[in-house]
């Protein structure tokens, strides 16, 4: 019938990779007076609509001898779900086809498909895909750490969604650490630890979010220690997120901290500019808006700290545009974000930090960016980088750029060095405090 002939034509016309990626996953469905094609996800749908719809319509005209409407919609994926582990590509595409019924508390929109990748998170994402495809055997536990709003919850729920899609019977529990603490307290009060253990010790996948909330909670840590051991021993997957590196979690038992490092520990860094732009474009597209690139760049330059704030800014722009019935222009963006921009301008600028620190140590401002590595320059530079990290919302790479194009690892090293010096050297610690005060008053 028509679709088969259409497939034959397109298979000849298109490079195999394009054909396999965009055309093959489409599923035909005949309506009364139009022809429907179902795409497995919005990505494919948008792409096909833009690149191939006209060609398919032309083929339909030739086949039916009259103009035939082609409706594109979202539908079931056409590839069958293998029981065992599929390729990374399938894993990335599949979760977007919303699993039948997600396990409790998993957000079906947190998928790998909707997760934008950049330097800041590519390692974490790759590890997450590995674990989603090989739960219990790849890395156990997987420990993901990073600041707020950088995508930790999104990423671990994406893992949960993939595991659920391929194995709907898997017992998956996503729990925020705070709720786990409450569960322990409840079990303690009602003397229902047996139930508690039955639940947590028999899971196939435990996703535990923001584990820094366990800090100082002795009983919780003890219960978690047992649950963790039971799961790891049974080769069940444990995935943990945290705002810091395992060894640096305050108020956490050593035996837990060391266990957190048994598998793989990966960081998510704040997104660099290009990634922020990509995120804005993608989120806009998901709302059906094609954002102009200069506008995406403008927003991405203003909102630097994390993805959550970036999303917030975009939502405000959209709301403002809808409300004032105007298109999205640079002027509209500036108006809608004016409170936010005002806050930013009140923030300490990196130039100000460089100038103040240079004055303080009696060096020239240009020596902040110079490549010279004499000791009398290195320390002030490290001080300024460390203050920039503390006082601005710039990412490590952004700070490195502001210091004459230095690498982000240099900035990271500077911040660590200053922390270390502040602890060992009282004079250093006083200088830091003084500079902080001068800069923030
Ligand atoms: P965290 O748990 O690290 O505080 P979240 O996972 O809650 O951060 O992310 C905050 C918001 O930003 C969520 O809406 C999430 O979907 C979005 N987000 C974070 N990282 C990305 C990314 N790389 N691509 C797309 N959206 C992202
Ligand atoms: Mg979170």
**pLDDT tens digits, residue range 131-172?**
999 999 889 999 999 999 999 999 999 999 999 999 999 999
Ligand 1 within 6 A of 121 CB? Answer: yes
Q: Which two tokens stand for residue 198?
A: 């039955």
Ligand nearest to the CA of 150: 1
Q: Quick one: which ligand is closest to 145's CA?
A: 1
**What pLDDT was estimated at residue 439?**
80
Mean pLDDT of 240-262: 94
Q: Is the pTM of this model over 0.80?
A: no
Percent share of the chain, pLDDT over 70: 91
Quickly list DSSP for 161-200.
HHHHHH-TTS-EEEEEHHHHHHHHHHHHHTT-HHHHHHHH
Of the listed ranges 25-34, 64-73, 145-154, 163-172, the least confidently predicted one is 25-34
* pLDDT above 80: residue 359: yes
Q: What is the edge-to-edge ordering of all strands in the sheet holding 205-209?
A: 172-176, 205-209, 237-242, 142-145, 264-267
Q: Is 153 annotated as a binding residue?
A: yes
Answer with the residue of higher pLDDT: 209 or 29. Answer: 209
Distance from residue 352's CA to the centre of ligand 1 (Å): 31
- Which top CATH class is 2-74? alpha beta
Residues paired with residue 240 on neighbouring β-strands, in sequence order? 143, 208
151 is in an annotated binding site: yes
Among residues 126, 94, 96, which one has the least CA distance to residue 110? 96
Whole-number pLDDT of residue 98: 40
Q: Residue holding tokens 């004016």?
A: 338
**pLDDT score recorded for residue 204:** 96
Kindly state which CATH superfamily the domain 89-267 is placed in. P-loop containing nucleotide triphosphate hydrolases (3.40.50.300)
pLDDT greater than 80 at residue 90: no
According to CATH, what is the number of the domain 350-440?
1.10.1750.10
Q: What value does the mean pLDDT take over residues 238-260?
A: 95
* CA–CA dist 327, 323 (Å, integer): 11
User: Is 338 within any annotated ligand binding site?
Assistant: no
Q: Given ligand 1 and candidates 308, 312, 314, which is best to mutate, with the most ligand atoms within 8 Å of its CB?
A: 308
What's 250's DSSP letter? T
Res. 362: pLDDT tops 70: yes
Integer Cα distance of 225 and 228 in angstroms: 5
In whole numbers, what is the pLDDT of the chain averaged over residues?
A: 87
Q: What atom in ligand 1 is closest to the CA of residue 117?
A: 23
**Predicted-complex ipTM score:** 0.99
Q: What pLDDT shows up at residue 32?
A: 62
CATH of domain 273-346: 1.10.8.60
- Return the domain boundaries, the chain: 2-74, 89-267, 273-346, 350-440
- pLDDT at position 417: 94
Please tell me the distance between residue 155's alpha carbon and the centre of ligand 2 in angstroms. Answer: 9
Q: What angle do CA 5, 8, 13 make, to 5 degrees?
A: 125
Q: Which ligand is nearest to the CA of 124?
A: 1
Q: Name the pLDDT band for 187 (thresholds 50, 70, 90).
A: very high
Q: Nearest-CA neighbor of 84 among 166, 1, 205, 169? A: 166
For 3-17, 266-280, 295-309, which range has the lowest pLDDT when averaged over its residues? 3-17
What is the model's pLDDT at position 85?
A: 36
């Amino acid at each position: 019938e028509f679709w088969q002939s259409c497939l034959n034509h397109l298979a000849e016309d298109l490079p195999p990779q394009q054909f396999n990626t965009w055309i093959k996953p489409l599923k035909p469905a005949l309506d009364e007076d139009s022809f429907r094609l179902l795409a497995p996800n919005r990505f494919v749908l948008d792409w096909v609509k833009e690149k191939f719809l006209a060609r398919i319509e032309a083929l339909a005209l030739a086949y039916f001898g009259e103009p035939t409407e082609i409706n594109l919609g979202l539908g079931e994926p056409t590839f069958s779900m293998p029981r065992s582990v599929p390729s990374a590509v399938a894993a990335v595409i599949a979760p977007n086809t919303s699993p039948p019924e997600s396990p409790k508390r998993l957000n079906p929109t947190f998928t790998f498909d909707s997760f934008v990748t950049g330097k800041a998170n590519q390692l974490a994402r790759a590890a997450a895909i590995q674990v989603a495809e090989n739960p219990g055997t790849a890395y156990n536990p997987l420990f993901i750490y990073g600041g707020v709003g950088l995508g930790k919850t999104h990423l671990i729920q994406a893992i949960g969604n993939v595991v659920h899609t391929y194995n709907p019977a898997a017992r998956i529990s996503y729990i925020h650490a705070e709720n786990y603490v409450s569960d322990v307290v409840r079990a303690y009060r009602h003397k229902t630890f047996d139930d508690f253990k039955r639940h947590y010790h028999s899971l196939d996948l435990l996703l535990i979010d923001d584990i820094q909330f366990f800090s100082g909670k002795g009983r919780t840590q003890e219960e978690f220690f047992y649950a963790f051991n039971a799961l790891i021993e049974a080769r069940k997957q444990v995935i943990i997120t945290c705002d810091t590196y395992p060894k640096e979690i305050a108020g956490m038992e050593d035996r837990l901290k060391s266990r957190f490092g048994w598998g793989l520990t990966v960081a998510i860094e704040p997104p660099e500019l290009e990634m922020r732009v990509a995120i804005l474009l993608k989120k806009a597209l998901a709302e059906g808006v094609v954002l102009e690139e200069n506008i995406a760049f403008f927003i991405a330059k203003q909102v630097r700290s994390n993805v959550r704030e970036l999303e917030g800014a975009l939502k405000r722009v959209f709301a403002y545009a809808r409300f004032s019935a105007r298109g999205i222009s640079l002027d509209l963006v500036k108006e809608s974000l004016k409170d936010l921009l005002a806050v930013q301008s009140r923030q300490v600028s990196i130039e100000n930090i460089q100038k103040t620190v240079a004055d303080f140590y009696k060096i020239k401002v240009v020596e902040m960016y110079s490549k010279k590595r004499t000791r009398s320059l290195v320390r002030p530079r490290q001080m300024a980088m460390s203050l920039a990290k503390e006082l601005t919302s710039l990412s490590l790479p952004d700070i490195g750029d502001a210091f004459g194009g230095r690498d982000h690892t240099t900035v990271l090293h500077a911040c660590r060095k200053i922390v270390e010096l502040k602890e060992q050297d009282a004079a250093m610690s006083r200088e830091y405090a003084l500079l902080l005060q001068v800069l923030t008053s």
